[in-house]
Amino acid sequence: MLSCTTFYDGDDECCLTVDSLREARVVGQFDKKFILLIANAKSSHYQLFEEPFSKPHGYRYKHSYIIAIDQHAAHERILVEFFEKECLNHFEMSSNRATRELQLLKIFSRKISLKLSRRLVPDIFNLVNQEPVKLYWLLKYGFSAILDCNSMEQSIIVTMIPRVIPQSHSSEKLLKKIIASCIQVILLNQEESNVSIIHQIMQAIHPLLESRACHQAIRFGRKLSRKQMEKLIIELSRCRIPFQCAHGRPTCTLIKITDKEYD
């Protein structure tokens, strides 16, 4: 878990932690794009939100920080981690059941007709041509496919994929590439453990999860109530990587405020 992120203000290094988010106070929404918070942070040179201390010339200084949360990036992070857990649970449940439980396959999977040419998956064709029964291994992870020998060019027709794999936000070309990767992982690594195969499947489908999270995340321009903002911050603080969106962009930034008061 990425529990903190570091910002630099001149020579000073400030670390924003997950605890800072959990203890944050929502100030409001800026430009229908950013959620503004006040929260504690750790500093290498001074304590943030310290009591005012005396300075020359009759001034007193107090350092405060506002945290600006990118509402789209934050929600995207929340969603992608939710989709990751959903997929992981699916593959763990599916792989622990008998491969011939076709009734369960109908529950956990959905029908599709996706043609994979020999050029796209040559290693699979070499394997399946020698042992067609190998295709039954796909059922264990929620996939189903048949070998099509009737057309001019041999192909594998994928007839079912797990319901948790999103389709609607991706091109057919990308979907084919990713499904082909999943099938190769399953058929070419049968000696490996379930954990290893599931990990590789998750890596293969992650671009689809990122795309789905991006499309479903709260957009800039949407007004949020205080309750919605507070809920978003709580959910973000529970994320494994709260300070980056699904594509690696930062979800927040620190803005330093210096109050000057005359004695």
Predicted pLDDT at 47: 37
Query: For the chain, how many structural domains are there in total?
Result: 2
Same structural domain, 143 and 242: no
Which residue type occupies 80?
Answer: V
Same structural domain, 103 and 212: yes
pLDDT at 98 over 90: no
Same structural domain, 67 and 135: no
Same structural domain, 82 and 59: no
Quickly list H helices, the chain: 18-22, 71-95, 102-108, 122-130, 172-188, 194-216, 226-237
Same structural domain, 26 and 130: no
C-alpha span between 145 and 156 (Å, rounded): 7
21 Cβ partners below 8 Å, 6+ apart? Answer: 37, 39, 67, 233, 236, 237, 242
Same structural domain, 148 and 178: yes
The residue that leads in pLDDT, 239 or 121, is 239
pLDDT at 84 over 90: yes
Question: In a 3-state reduction of DSSP, which class is residue 22?
Answer: helix
DSSP one-letter code for 42: E
pLDDT at 81 over 60: yes
Give the range among 20-29, 35-44, 113-122 with minimum mean pLDDT. Answer: 35-44
* Mean pLDDT for the chain overall: 80
165 Cβ partners below 8 Å, 6+ apart? Answer: 87, 178, 179, 205, 208
Same structural domain, 92 and 209: yes
Same structural domain, 70 and 174: no
**139 — phi, psi (to 5°)?**
-60, -30
User: In this predicted model, what pLDDT tens digit does every residue of 152-169 receive, in sequence order?
Assistant: 677 889 999 998 898 877
Give the range among 55-69, 134-148, 161-175 with minimum mean pLDDT. Answer: 55-69
DSSP one-letter code for 244: B
Kindly state the percentage of the chain with pLDDT values over 70.
77
The residue that leads in pLDDT, 94 or 12, is 94
Same structural domain, 137 and 174: yes
Predicted pLDDT at 55: 39
pLDDT at 137 over 70: yes
CATH code of the domain covering residue 226: 3.30.1540.20
Same structural domain, 120 and 200: yes
Q: What is the mean pLDDT of the segment spanning 211-235?
A: 96
**138 — phi, psi (to 5°)?**
-65, -30
Q: pTM of the prediction? A: 0.80
Q: What is the mean pLDDT of the segment spanning 74-84?
A: 97
Structural domain containing residue 106: 76-216
Same structural domain, 106 and 145: yes
Same structural domain, 209 and 102: yes
